[in-house]
Amino acid sequence: MDASPNESFDACLKEALVQTRAWIPRWLTKLREALQQRESAASRPQEKQALGQARTTLESHHELIAARFLEAFAESVEGALPSTTNPTRSLKSLSFDELELMGDEQVQETVELARVQQVIKISADEALNALNARMSSARGLQRVRIEANPLRSEVVVTSLMRALNGLHVEPAVRSRWLQTGAVAFGEELRDMYVRLSALLDSRGIEPAGYTVIQTPRGRTPAPEGSVRSESVSTEAVRGPDALLTLDHLHQLLVGNLDQSGSGPSDQGASGSGNAMVRTLAAEVVTLMLRRLTTDERLLAPLRDMLQGMKPALLLLARSDPRFFADRHNPARRLLDAIAERGLAFTSEQDAGYQPFATQVHDIVRALQSSGADLPDRFPGLLELLTRSRAEALVPRQAQARGLAVQTLMRVEQRNLLAERVATEFRARNDFERAPGVVRRFLTGPWSQVVAQARMDAAEKSVASVSLASAAGYTDIVPDLLWSSQLAQASRNRPRLIKIIPGLLRTLREGLDAIDYPRTQSESFFSALMGLHEAAYKTQREAPVEDSPPSHQFEPEADEPWMHPVEARDTGFMEDALMDTQPAFVDTEIMPRDWSDAKEAVAREGGQVLPVGAWVDVWYEGRALRCQVTWASPHGTMFLFTGSDGRSLSMTRRGVERLLAQDRLRVVANHGMVDDALDAVARQACINSALQP
């Protein structure tokens, strides 16, 4: 009988730990033997001595390495999720900004890790793909998600690096271990993957399907678990890009390269002086533009115009080799502005595209003319572009956006206050004894009523009617809870008859104050009056039990509330909180599981979508390209603006639901120039890994 997926997933993790206890000591033995063989075959005394030191150090640390590796690997596996306290490092995670902040030792460690991963990938990749498919299936996924496999090679290699970095050994010794033992490590890992796949197969776990995507030239990142027909280009490895190693790029960014040389570039042959700096800068510009001009998120005419800026940017790199790393540099800002605005358009027929394209064309022409004043042109061109974008915003749209922001700020403030009010209600001793329909009403609509009244009171004088209303709305809570409990209310029918009229009147008054829909409130009042009627008709002598909870009135837990006027002023997407079928059924799926995305977002500061991100929203039967132009201070409300000036708003919960339903697609959550420079850093890392 087939085992359940969850049981099989857990069994696979346990078996991986058992197998690792056997093959790690075996790998260390193979590593020692390989070092001994190389030591015997070495002809140079210096090399023989270095290999001998690596071997003897390994022999003295053999058991400690095995123990620390098993400990690190077990910590990663026991989490059973990619989001551990020690996140794995891969080539895809390296960023340009991060590289600038690294020290020399960190750069070398990154290169070592890249080399080991490259070798292991060659040995174990095929077996890992098969295991990924079954592990994804064991986690209930229909399509492969690489991140769903906590046994993937990056996790294992990261555990190895953690074990080795914790030893008090010379970096050169550690490097020799990694260089000598990488192949054997990959083979052992491959064999474990094969055995684990067989285990899952024996338990009836069928492999999930891979999403096949043809090589897109620069499209948005492919989904994790998709098979892409792309590889490192030969030109990038052996051609002019091969000079751009991670160490060279790092030295360029931190300004440690000697610029004392003079004369024309010699393609870096001299290894120092202006020749080296200029050549490296030119390679960065070339790779950056290659990424931008093949990124299909931008329309083809815009990509062609960006390519037309290359001569000017290459000339700028000669006088200012690090301009691309400075976010405040006018040339970098101009590139950012063009690429960011270009994301607004999905068709050349979109409103506003033609004026924008004409202006970009004029910018390119201005940069193509020769002259020593080239660096001085960028600030003026940037100012013109910025001013034209501001002028393109219709005053009416600017006013509407300002009103929307103010309204959403107030909505967030009221919702946060309503949460505190709901907490106050839950803390009452008589709260849990009330029927569910009443509890849900108090922590839902009525907490909004009290919050609104308290906000109104805070904005007016102490003697205002609003202050009295806020107190009155809170004072009726004991009567509401008592009257809804059949066992209590039936014992004192005179009190019940006395409080009902005022209670119902205050409840209706409060709900009307926030324009709560009558269609929803009437279902609550029907349930409440049914409870009152039952309490009134119950005989005192008869044993009384409280009525079972009613399911007529069940507002969704923590559902944010908006007045109809507020929803209108902010373009609120009410259907974002409805369960519907996915809209983008015929297009590429999200880059990763939304659960993984939320975990990554939490590590980066808690925002679901950063301000400036571009998304496609399925709205009124079509995909609408929008930008996140504002997020509330607590990240619970978001304002989106389309290229046509239309504003939409959503709650955090609405964004999460649309993402999960595939009705919202993230087009870019970082700047396109940032993405292009991150790709340059990764290419430099690949070049370093493939060097001897």
SS3 readout for 107-123: HHHHHHHHHHHHHHHHH
Strands 226-228 and 211-213: parallel
The pLDDT assigned to 241 comes to: 47
Tally helices (H) and strands (E) across the chain: 26, 7
Please state whether 310 falls in left (phi above 0), alpha (psi between -120 and 50) or beta. Answer: alpha
> pLDDT above 70 covers what percent of the chain?
80
Per 3-state DSSP, what percentage of the chain is helix, strand, and coil (rounded to 5)? Answer: 65, 5, 30
The structure's pTM equals 0.70
In terms of Cα–Cα distance, which of 246, 182, 112, 117 is closest to 687?
246
CA dihedral over 117, 119, 120, 121, signed as positive or negative: positive
Per residue in 82-128, pLDDT tens? Answer: 444 444 445 556 788 888 888 887 888 788 778 888 888 888 889 99
Higher-pLDDT residue of 123, 230: 123
The pLDDT assigned to 562 comes to: 82
Of 27-41, 206-220, 539-553, which has the strongest mean pLDDT?
Answer: 27-41
Q: Which residues contact 299 (CB under 8 A, 6 or more apart)?
A: 342, 345, 346, 347, 348, 353
3-state secondary structure of 598: helix
Higher-pLDDT residue of 354, 217: 354
The pLDDT assigned to 692 comes to: 62
The pLDDT assigned to 258 comes to: 54
Residue 605 has pLDDT above 50, yes or no: no
**Residue range 536-561: mean pLDDT, rounded:** 53
Residue 235 has pLDDT above 90, yes or no: no
In terms of Cα–Cα distance, which of 219, 291, 88, 296 is closest to 589?
219
Angle at 686 between CA 681 and CA 691, to 5 degrees: 125
Q: How far apart are CA 647 and CA 653, in angstroms?
A: 18
The pLDDT assigned to 266 comes to: 40
Q: How confident is the model at residue 245 (pLDDT cuts 50, 70, 90)?
A: confident
3-state secondary structure of 665: strand
Strands 647-651 and 664-668: unpaired
**Residue range 376-400: mean pLDDT, rounded:** 84
What CATH code is assigned to 570-669?
2.30.30.140
Q: Within a 10 A sphere around the Cβ of 234, how many other Cβ atoms?
A: 9
Residue 2 has pLDDT above 70, yes or no: no
Q: How far apart are CA 197 and CA 267, in angstroms?
A: 49
3-state secondary structure of 494: helix
Within 258-309, where are the H helices?
A: 273-293, 300-308
Please list the residues that pair with 631 across neighbouring strands.
638
Of 44-53, 162-171, 514-523, 605-614, which has the strongest mean pLDDT?
Answer: 44-53
Q: How confident is the model at residue 587 (pLDDT cuts 50, 70, 90)?
A: very low
Q: Which residues contact 583 (CB under 8 A, 6 or more apart)?
A: 618, 623, 661, 662, 663
Per the prediction, the chain carries an average pLDDT of 80
**Residue range 326-338: mean pLDDT, rounded:** 94
Q: How far apart are CA 609 and CA 666, in angstroms?
A: 9
Higher-pLDDT residue of 382, 100: 382
Q: How confident is the model at residue 540 (pLDDT cuts 50, 70, 90)?
A: low
Higher-pLDDT residue of 595, 139: 139
**Residue range 532-550: mean pLDDT, rounded:** 61
**Residue range 172-179: mean pLDDT, rounded:** 88
Within 294-329, where are the H helices?
A: 300-308, 310-319
The pLDDT assigned to 107 comes to: 82
**Residue range 682-688: mean pLDDT, rounded:** 85
The pLDDT assigned to 4 comes to: 62
Give CA separation, 5 vs 14, 51, 561, in Å.
14, 47, 39
The pLDDT assigned to 598 comes to: 42
**Residue range 538-545: mean pLDDT, rounded:** 52
Which H/E stretch holds residue 630?
strand 622-631
Domain ranges for the chain: 5-209, 234-370+678-690, 397-537, 570-669
Lowest model confidence (mean pLDDT) among 389-403, 430-444, 593-607, 639-653 = 593-607
Residue 558 has pLDDT above 80, yes or no: no
Higher-pLDDT residue of 107, 31: 31
Residue 323 has pLDDT above 80, yes or no: yes
Higher-pLDDT residue of 663, 109: 663
Q: Within a 10 A sphere around the Cβ of 66, how many other Cβ atoms?
A: 17
Lowest model confidence (mean pLDDT) among 223-232, 360-369, 553-562 = 223-232
Q: How far apart are CA 630 and CA 495, in angstroms?
A: 51
In terms of Cα–Cα distance, which of 72, 109, 114 is closest to 92?
114
- Contact indicator for 324, 677 with CB cutoff of 8 Å: yes
Q: How far apart are CA 290 and CA 307, in angstroms?
A: 8
List b or e across 15-40, with b for residues whose CB sees 16 or more CB atoms inside 10 angstroms. Answer: bbeebbeebbbebbebbbebbeebbe
- Contact indicator for 283, 243 with CB cutoff of 8 Å: yes
In terms of Cα–Cα distance, which of 669, 656, 603 is closest to 83?
603
Higher-pLDDT residue of 338, 318: 338
Higher-pLDDT residue of 396, 129: 129
The pLDDT assigned to 445 comes to: 92
3-state secondary structure of 486: helix
